[in-house]
Structure 1
Amino acid sequence: MDRYVRWNALLELLTDSGRVSVEDAAAQLNVSQATIRRDFDQLAQQQMIIRTRGGAVANGVSYDLPLRYKTAKHSAEKQRIGAAAAALVAPGQVVGLNGGTTTTEVARALAVRPDLNTNAEGTQLTVVTNALNIANELLVRSQMKIVVAGGVVRPQSFELVGPLGGALLREVTLDLVLLGVNAIDVHLGAAAHHEGEAAMNSLMVGRAKRVVIIADSSKLGGHAFARICAIDRVETLVTDSGAPSSVIAEFEAAGVRVITA
């Protein structure tokens, strides 16, 4: 098992139970207790957990893991979602992208589309983003125009938040915004764990003609701390084939087009 996959699993165990022993973690992950001890020590050094005698306890931030620990979770689904969401983009558009693992897959799918990688007048794609990793993905692999909102970097997501970025976003118009979210619910709308990220995402929504939410099925029907927008602002939801038909029906009844990848 890859180290980051294992670390993600350990952090999820701690999120669920608040405390886990070396012995229980080793049994659940089918690895040696020595491996778990090393993992706990390394996670504690990064202040992701609190080490205890014989185990570890959550330190209150494991719900919001750094991006590099999230990449292995639902990776196949996110790649399919990314490709499906990228297919909604047309040459010459101005597209907004926020941060996150699923939007990273969208950026990678956009970068390999020949029709979008051109400097020809009227066909060059413009991407507006508040995520440093998204900008880097596109900058080194494409000929798109990249506009980066300013702000303070959140290490967990590589997103820039705060009033500096908000000032730029208020001055642009987006044909389409593709937003990764922590949760989306028919009644509660789209939401993020961090209020700064939610505020930036909400500004993108306010400047966009069309709003597309990209979220794997584990995020459907869930809730998070800070709302991004109400469900009536969402035109399309791109998710994976694991989404229950009953949940999809609820979104469609609310007027949201659902694409499953």
Structure 2
Amino acid sequence: MTAYGHLKAVFMKVARHIIEARREAIAKLLSKVGYVPVLEICKQFNVSEATARRDLTELESQRRITRTHGGALSDFNRNFPPLDDRKVEDAEAKRKIGNLAASRVKPGMTVYLDSGSTIFFAAEAIASAGVADLQIVTTCLPTAQLISCLPGVEVYIPGGLFLTRHAMVAGDRTLEEVARWNFDVALLGAEGIDENGLWNSQRDISHQQREVIRRSDEVLICMNKVKLGRGGPCAVTRDVSALFLVTDAAAADVAKAKVKMAADHVLTA
């Protein structure tokens, strides 16, 4: 081997080491925060967009991430319990919360229904009550199918990547389409609420919920009491004072969890 060839081989070995280290760092970042746009990856790792996309393609081929338009979802999609399993957990409490939240939905409203088991129970209650003349926007396909049976109800499902275990769509395209709407009332689920705000377990979904909150006249956070005082990896909003919490906990229990919300914004099922 010539001296040039030796230097070239060493350079290629070092370059591969750097590439693998960067990809490992990207995978760890995605595992931690759930979602990172391609342009953010470019900024954090000082690489071109083409390089970032090659890294993501390789990580996807290793089944370490799931790609979305403009970013990536971690294996969160694969590991999250299926919707049918979540509907069984604390079903009685979730059904009561869903029934109370559904009572806030009136004919003629434009309504956002989040994904999640408690919101699915709310959708069942809306369907059972026969609330008519609604525009429903939902990212949850089972909810869309359930609620579409109502007379005079229009159901809209934003585009995006279908997350099988969530039974929902998500991603940049979903966020863009949700941002075109204004809602009379939004029913949202979450992973927890505490003194520092409202939390979810995945950044992409948190961004989506934040946009829904911004575009809604009334926001109902539907959550059973086991999630009180619980934080999470991704903040939806730090200020929950304008939101309503629909829960099976009493207002005193919410206050004990140091949630910064007035007692009249706590609706106990």
- TM-score normalised to structure 1 length: 0.67
1:83: Cα distance to partner?
Answer: 0.4
Equivalent AA in structure 2 for residue 254 of structure 1: M
- Contact preservation (8 Å) 1:81, 1:216: yes
Equivalences for residues 84-103 of structure 1 within 5 A: 84-103=100-119
| SS of structure 2 residue aligned to 1:204 | helix
Summarize the Cα distance change of 1:255–1:66 in structure 2 as closer, same or farther, 3 Å threshold.
same
Residue equivalent to 2:182: 173
Specify which of 246, 251, 259 is matched with residue 253 of structure 2. 246
Specify which of 232, 235, 238 is matched with residue 240 of structure 2. 232
- TM-score normalised to structure 2 length: 0.66
Cα RMSD, aligned residues only: 2.4
Equivalent AA in structure 2 for residue 152 of structure 1: L
1:108: Cα distance to partner?
Answer: 0.5
Equivalences for residues 153-172 of structure 1 within 5 A: 153-172=162-181
Q: Deviations over 1:200-249 (max 9, x none)?
A: 111111111111100011111101211112233542100014x5833346
Equivalences for residues 37-116 of structure 1 within 5 A: 64-114=80-130, 116=131
Mapped partners of 2:251, 2:218: distance in 1: 25
Specify which of 176, 183, 190 is matched with residue 198 of structure 2. 190
| SS of structure 2 residue aligned to 1:136 | helix
Unaligned segments of structure 1, at least 5 residues: 1-58, 118-123
Identity rate of aligned residues, in percent? 24
Mapped partners of 1:233, 1:132: distance in 2: 30
- Contact preservation (8 Å) 1:169, 1:207: no
Mapped partners of 1:154, 1:188: distance in 2: 28
- Contact preservation (8 Å) 1:251, 1:258: no
| SS of structure 2 residue aligned to 1:232 | coil
Mapped partners of 1:144, 1:200: distance in 2: 23
1:254: Cα distance to partner?
Answer: 2.9
Q: Verify: 1:135 aligned to 2:144, yes or no.
A: yes
Mapped partners of 2:258, 2:134: distance in 1: 30
Summarize the Cα distance change of 1:99–1:253 in structure 2 as closer, same or farther, 3 Å threshold.
closer
1:140: Cα distance to partner?
Answer: 3.4
- By percentage of residues, which structure has more helix? 2
Summarize the Cα distance change of 1:211–1:72 in structure 2 as closer, same or farther, 3 Å threshold.
same
Summarize the Cα distance change of 1:214–1:141 in structure 2 as closer, same or farther, 3 Å threshold.
same
